[in-house]
Structure 1
Amino acid sequence: MDTGLLLWRVTLQWQKKITAALKPLGLTHVQFALMSELERVRSEDGQVNQKQLARRARTDEMMTGQVLRVLETRGLVIRWRAESNRQSILVRLTDLGHERLTTATPVVKAVDDTFFGAAEPDLRDLFTLLGESETA
């Protein structure tokens, strides 16, 4: 079987499990990914705008804006126009968003540990290669 096709199938199976695990928390996988990236920015004591968030999370800019709009209506993120550049929309987690992410993170980690656990030694090499390809 083609390696790319195999990787695609594994990714789809993994995403299906993540989606099912996050559903009771009212989050999608993309919402969780964007919220996780916002938390990383916060822990670095920085700010990020929507465009930068999309770049950091490797998501489509337009889709990122749509997802953030949903998260904002649910009180999980707050967005505002930057003073220095009115076209730039800054975004951060609210306290409620931080709480929801804190609840969701161990759920996602448990799925990851179960799904990838048996292949752990072999996956380290693959993850190293994938990480290197992102910076190339």
Structure 2
Amino acid sequence: MSERKGPEGATPGFLVWRLSTKWRVAVDRAVAPLGLTHAQYSLVASLYGMQRGGERPSQRRLADHTGLEPLYVSKLARALESAGLIERTRDPRDPRAVQLALTERGQDVTQRAVKVVQGLLEQLLEPLGGLKSPRTRALTGELALLLDVPLDLTDERTQE
């Protein structure tokens, strides 16, 4: 196993961007035969997990969970509904909210997609010792920490 350091002088931001781009492209290619894009996969996989936990989330709740913009989740949900993978219904407690659920076909496609993406994740994490290795757990903790940092997009340093 080689100790690759990445491009000379690369910043953490550049490496995060490159890794996220690499991951998005790999997932896009892997789930395309199932009729999904990476963004659609993120939505149905999250919905699948939430449903397994007994939740029937609103589009807003799913947007918060995935980190996607609510308007984009709405667009993705409409496309997935047209493809017969999810159903969108009005929340009886809040007529403004739309609840989402996977259809039977959607559950089947999602389960297959999760297996494919899980295989990709194993490949990606193999240099760290695999999905359950201490290095992967440490990386996961560090990434979660960074995701929790609020960013002030109005910071005067960005205005110069």
- Name the TM tier (shorter chain): over 0.9
Asked whether 1:24 is paired with 2:28, we answer no
Q: Which has the higher contact order (CA 8 A, sep 6+)?
A: 1
TM-score normalized with structure 2 length: 0.79
Cα shift at 1:124: 3.0
Give the corresponding residue for 1:131.
144
Q: Which runs of 4+ in 1 moved over 4 A?
A: none
Q: Which runs of 5+ in 1 are unaligned?
A: none
1:81-117 deviation line (CA, Å, top 9, x unaligned): 1112110101110000000011111110111111221
Give the corresponding residue for 1:12.
21
Asked whether 1:102 is paired with 2:115, we answer no
- Give the 5 Å matches for 1:1-80: 1-80=10-89
The structure where helix makes up a greater share of residues is 1
Give the share of equivalent positions with the same residue, in percent. Answer: 25
Task: Give the distance between the partners of 1:93 and 1:28, measured in 2 at CA.
Answer: 16
Whose Rg is larger? 2
Cα shift at 1:135: 3.9
Task: Give the distance between the partners of 1:98 and 1:119, measured in 2 at CA.
Answer: 31
Task: Give the distance between the partners of 1:18 and 1:115, measured in 2 at CA.
Answer: 11
Count of paired positions: 136
Let me know the Cα RMSD of the aligned residues. 1.4
Change (3 A) 1:123 1:109: same
Give the corresponding residue for 2:155.
none
